[in-house]
Amino acid sequence: MNSTTDSGRLSVSEKFGYGLGDLASNFFWQMFAIFIAKFYTDVFMLGAATMGTMLLITRLGDAFVDPIVGAIADRTRTRWGRFRPWLLWGALPMAITAVLTFTTPSFGGPWKVVYAYVTLSLMMVAYSAINIPYSALLGVLTPSSAERTSVTSYRFSMALIPVFIIVGAYSSPMAIARYYDGNENSPQGWMLAMAIYSAIAVVLFLATFLLTRERVQPIAEAPAALRTDVRDLLRNRPWVVLSVVGIAALTHSNLRGTAGVFYFEQAVTGGKEWFGSIMTSGAIAFIVGVIATGPLARRIGKRRFYMGAMFATAIATAAVYWVPTTSLTAVWVAHVLVNLLAAPTAPLVWAMYADTADYGEWKGGRRATGLVFSAASFSQKLGWAIGGAAVGWLLAFFSYTPGVAQTASTIHGITLMMSLIPAVPALLACAALYFYELDEPTVAQMGQDLAAARGAGKS
């Protein structure tokens, strides 16, 4: 079940098992990406600007937690490995803090804001404690770069499955809230929805723990000093480039993802009634794009493929501005197209992060997989923080008011948040990757040299 060949090929069951972990994570991530702004403005009843500032502060603080978690994970020693045990230890805390975050307290005033800050911060720390080791696990499942790309295809194909549930006509937080007391903005209904999603996620994290195994061991143990690891990481030019790419790419996706519910509910004729179906079809398009990533990446190369896909994504995103919001069909097609074009960028960037872990070991003789992936997550969360905060601030700037019909200027602003504004960071991500130097021949040479070094170390 957990076997691998000498070439590093993994069994389908292990790839599937690894993918279950991102399926679990995305019950939380997709709730953040799609509904966190709606929850805080329409259910929790925070002001949009207050919400935007809170998302920036809490996510920036959490981003600085990531390298610490990665360094600790690198130094973890158990009979199960370095990274897998964190799936056991972190599943329940993640679930509990998520439910608390989506709980609206009975008190109001400044203490309600404090409650939001504290619970969101705790949830993000819990998310880091499980998701950083999970991401790092990719780097030690197999030494094969091609297999890691294949594994990420499984991962991101399964990552979108929660979208089908949380935007479903009968399983979204709004639907569960309506079942609870007839009001789609019922605080108790949203809390119940998060409790259900969290329970499912706990089971999935445990399945990933059982179905995977760590195989790649460093040539030399990581040094005790964290500052030495950080210094080496900052000298890892490919990783630095990917970090810039990650910030820009996540800013793009989080802007569109978080603004989407407002766009379809407020700007698109018939969009609220068809929101679940639109998001579902977008998720299907994303999965199709992810499935095609492996074969195309082997033919085109990861770097070239990413640049092409992200450039096309930027153009398609900008074009949404000119799609008439009175035509549900046109908007629907545009949404599906953007998701299809953006899909390959997600598995490609994480596969490239695994290559940068190899690069650090190849150049310096030490491997710090957890730190590489936690620092990668750090850059991704910076983009996530910028995108999420921008949504809150832009909603306030465009005078969004919960529970009322929006003005024409507000609707125009929301349309900008789905089109021209997020297209800018998408173009920046594409431009930054131009400086990424790990092409396919270099990656192949690294793999050969590291395999020889590990073989020599065993002899």
Tokens of 312: 């096309």
DSSP 3-state of 10: strand
Say what the pTM is.
Answer: 0.74
The per-residue pLDDT for 418 is: 96
DSSP 3-state of 4: strand
- The DSSP line for 106-160 is S--THHHHHHHHHHHHHHHHHHHHHHHHHHHHHHHH-S-HHHHHHHHHHHHHHHT
Q: How far is CA 98 from the centre of its chain?
A: 16
* 8-state DSSP, 1: -
pLDDT tens track, the chain, 459 positions: 445 545 578 899 999 999 999 999 999 988 988 899 899 999 999 999 999 999 888 888 777 787 788 878 888 889 898 999 999 999 999 999 999 999 999 988 899 999 999 999 999 999 989 998 998 898 889 888 788 878 888 888 888 899 889 988 889 999 999 999 889 999 999 999 999 999 999 999 999 999 999 988 765 554 556 666 677 777 788 888 988 998 999 899 989 988 999 999 999 999 989 998 999 999 899 889 988 888 888 888 888 999 999 999 999 999 999 999 999 999 999 999 999 999 999 888 878 887 887 887 887 766 666 667 776 677 777 887 888 889 999 999 999 988 788 899 999 999 999 999 999 999 999 999 999 988 888 888 888 888 787 666 554
Q: What domains lie within the chain, and their CATH numbers?
A: 12-213+225-458 (1.20.1250.20)
The per-residue pLDDT for 221 is: 53
User: Could you give the CA distance from residue 172 to residue 176 in angstroms, rounded to a whole number?
Assistant: 6
| Tokens 């399926």 found at | 23
The per-residue pLDDT for 457 is: 54
Residue 4, phi then psi, degrees to nearest 5: -145, 150
* 8-state DSSP, 403: T
DSSP 3-state of 346: helix
The per-residue pLDDT for 1 is: 43
Tokens of 54: 């809170």
Closest by Cα among 205, 194, 234 to 97: 194
Range 333-337 contact pairs with CB under 8 angstroms and sequence separation of 24 or more: 335/278, 335/281, 335/282, 336/281, 336/282, 336/285, 337/285
Closest by Cα among 128, 133, 198 to 381: 128
